């Protein structure tokens, strides 16, 4: 079995929220991506997350890319790193 728990994490902050990209491993050794948005509202932190499983990553990235391309073409977006 694997390590169970978080095996990789990265994040970035904007003015009012933080995004986390966590790779986690379950008790069976399966890994998955957990994307989390955290923001403060009325003194509390609100966290929303989605889980993407390895078998769905290709399709997820394709559709994400389409959405990103649409936003870049139709909104005033600057590439900030």
Q: Which DSSP category does 28 fall into?
A: T
pLDDT of residue 77: 58
Of 11, 27, 21, 23, residue with least CA distance to 53? 23
Can you list the residues of the chain whose pLDDT is less than 50? none
Residue 64 has a pLDDT of 97
Quote the pLDDT of residue 4.
76
**Do residues 24 and 7 touch, judged by C-beta distance below 8 A?**
yes
Residues of the chain above pLDDT 90, percent: 80
Quick check: 69 and 45 in contact, CB under 8 A? no
| pTM for this prediction | 0.79
Residue 61's φ and ψ, nearest 5 degrees, are: -65, -35
The pLDDT value recorded for residue 52 is: 97
Give all domains of the chain, ordered by start, each with its CATH number.
5-74 (3.10.450.700)
- Please state, in angstroms and rounded to a whole number, the distance separating the CA atoms of residues 7 and 2: 10
């Amino acid at each position: 079995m694997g390590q169970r728990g978080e095996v990789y994490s990265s994040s970035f902050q904007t003015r009012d929220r933080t995004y986390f990209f966590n790779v986690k491993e379950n008790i069976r050794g399966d890994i998955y991506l957990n994307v989390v948005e955290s923001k403060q509202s009325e003194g509390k932190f609100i966290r929303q997350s989605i889980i993407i499983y390895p078998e769905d990553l290709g399709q997820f990235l394709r559709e994400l890319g389409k959405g990103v391309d649409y936003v870049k073409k139709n909104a005033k977006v600057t590439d900030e790193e």
